[in-house]
Amino acid sequence: MTKGGTLSLIKVEAAKIMRLAWPISGEEVLSYSQYLVTTAFVGRLGSPVLSAWFLAKTLINVTGNSLVWGIISAMETFCGQAFGACHYGLLGVILQRALLIGSLVATPCAVAWIWADKVLELLGQNASLAAMAARYIHLWTPTLFLYAAQWGCQLFLQAQGVVLPALGMAVVSLPLTVLFNWLFIVKLGFGLDGAAFATLVLAVVPLVLMVIYLIWHDRMQPPERRTWLGWSRAAWSGWGHYLHVALPSLAMICLDWWGNEITIFMSGILPQPEINVAAMGIAFNTNTLFFMLSFGLAGAASTRVSNELGANHPHRAKLVVEVAVSIAVAFLALGASVLVAVRHQWARVFTEDEKVVGLVARLMLPLAASLFGDGIMTVLAGVLRGAGRQRLGALVNLITIWVVGLPLQVCLAFYLGLGAMGMWLAKLVTSVLQAGTVFWFVARFDWTREAARAAVTVAKAHREHSQSCLEPLLPEQ
């Protein structure tokens, strides 16, 4: 191919990636804004209530959201590759199967939360805070099942290259977050209970809108391209094949997610906690913002890689990786430069405490450097999900985060007395090690072989579907 032809392909692929990436990133940023709005309303109830809410959210994330999202996220592999292979009707079966398995995972989580106060007390938390957190979790529990359904529908559409509806739901949800938190917490005076009620309602609204859009979108497709053919018995079979990909996906996500939660917990036991916790909180919020921007590229890379592998276009899948990583590096370089430039002013947006401002300014340097590792790793994790290579990601996360990263954080922060700076230096080392290791493996992928693996995955899923039931349980209305 000529140089001009190659450049043309790169431009086309970059446009496809950005068309998918920006709505996903926008949805993530708006969702995080909803979290900040709820934090502000709960914070008005007093420090003890805010602390209980943070405890509840941490326990929910570690023992609920991360597990269910890990299982549901395997849809990126199955749906993306099936869509690329033009097995459109298979996507609806995969969605049903994922929701069944996701609900099965969510159920023991919900049951275990009955003893949430006991668990928190065993972790050394104050009994009264643990009791408040447990009550919030009990009221919040149905939301876990609603989130599972919402995530499933979102990934179902994303595999088809349809990402704007999720952004639209987030746009609608943000003002509703203000309205319902004000109604339940302030107007009706339900306190922390009101925050749980508001979150539950805010989970119902976008899910209903997403389902309505999903039905409309499918009806607009030609009959041969419809991805929903009704409720199918096939969703009750093929679980072993699904879990073969889903369990490594769960491990990859949880190992990363839990590592961050432990870091946040450790920052609370540093000396001068009133300074270190505030500074680490600002640093983590900054890091989270850039993660959301990278997450959009990861979702786009996952969709494009899975589609191209399913369509047996190995060279196009390789091009997707090259273009996505290049875009990530460009954005991260710009973001890191801005952070370094405003490092002495950035913390003043959140606090006027000069000690906190000074510590944040120092943390911005390793944080800015770590953005490259974190961002590239996020994009490559999307590539691994699209290719169905989650086992590799899980192994890398286990070694880099749990064997190297967390012990290094303890050593630098506590034994060498570097505190918060030690934590971010260790995080920098971990992120570079993560990204470098995965990049080394991905750069050596035999993409023709990856396309063959995708063909086997899709063929097996299609065969199980055909053998289970040729007719749906309930015909499409």
> For the segment 75-128, what is each residue's pLDDT rounded down to a tens digit?
999 999 999 999 999 999 999 999 999 999 999 999 999 999 998 888 777 888
The least confident of 71-80, 349-358, 433-442 is: 349-358
**Helices 354-387 & 239-267 angle (0-180, nearest 10):** 170
Nearest C-alpha neighbor of 250 from the set 108, 63, 437: 63
SS3 of the chain: helix, strand, coil, percent, to 5: 85, 0, 15
CB 413 within 8 A of CB 276: no
Q: Examine the pLDDT at 234 and tell me if it is beyond 80.
A: yes
Q: Examine the pLDDT at 154 and tell me if it is beyond 90.
A: yes
Q: Examine the pLDDT at 477 and tell me if it is beyond 60.
A: no
Mean pLDDT of the chain: 89
Cα angle 227-229-233, degrees, rounded to a multiple of 5: 120
In the numeric block, which tokens belong to residue 179? 């309205």
In the numeric block, which tokens belong to residue 128? 């009264």
End-to-end CA distance of the chain: 49
Q: Residue range 199-218: average pLDDT?
A: 93
Q: Examine the pLDDT at 171 and tell me if it is beyond 90.
A: yes
Kind plus residue range of the DSSP H or E element containing 133: helix 127-140
The model's pTM is 0.89
Buried b (16+ CB within 10 A) or exposed e, 45-62: beeebbbbbbbbbbbbbb
CB atoms within 10 A of CB 261: 15
Q: Residue range 11-17: average pLDDT?
A: 93
Alpha helices in 141-191 (DSSP H): 142-158, 164-181
**What pLDDT score was predicted for residue 281?**
72
Q: Examine the pLDDT at 437 and tell me if it is beyond 70.
A: yes
pLDDT above 70 as % of the chain: 94
Domain ranges of the chain: 3-465
Q: Residue range 457-461: average pLDDT?
A: 82
Nearest C-alpha neighbor of 167 from the set 296, 272, 280, 327: 296
In the numeric block, which tokens belong to residue 308? 């191209």
Question: Rounded to whole angstroms, how far apart are CA atoms 458 and 87?
Answer: 8
Confidence of residue 372 (pLDDT cuts 50, 70, 90): very high
pLDDT above 90 as % of the chain: 66
Q: Examine the pLDDT at 465 and tell me if it is beyond 70.
A: no
CB atoms within 10 A of CB 213: 18
Nearest C-alpha neighbor of 68 from the set 259, 296, 206, 249: 249
Concatenate the DSSP letters of all residues of 356-381 into one string: HHHHHHHHHHHHHHHHHHHHHHHHHH
3-state secondary structure 399-446: HHHHHHHHHHHHHHHHHCCCHHHHHHHHHHHHHHHHHHHHHHHHHCCC
Largest CA distance in the chain: 70
Question: Partners of 231 in the beta sheet?
Answer: 474
CB 11 within 8 A of CB 319: no
Question: Rounded to whole angstroms, how far apart are CA atoms 175 and 87?
Answer: 39
Question: Rounded to whole angstroms, how far apart are CA atoms 362 and 354?
Answer: 12
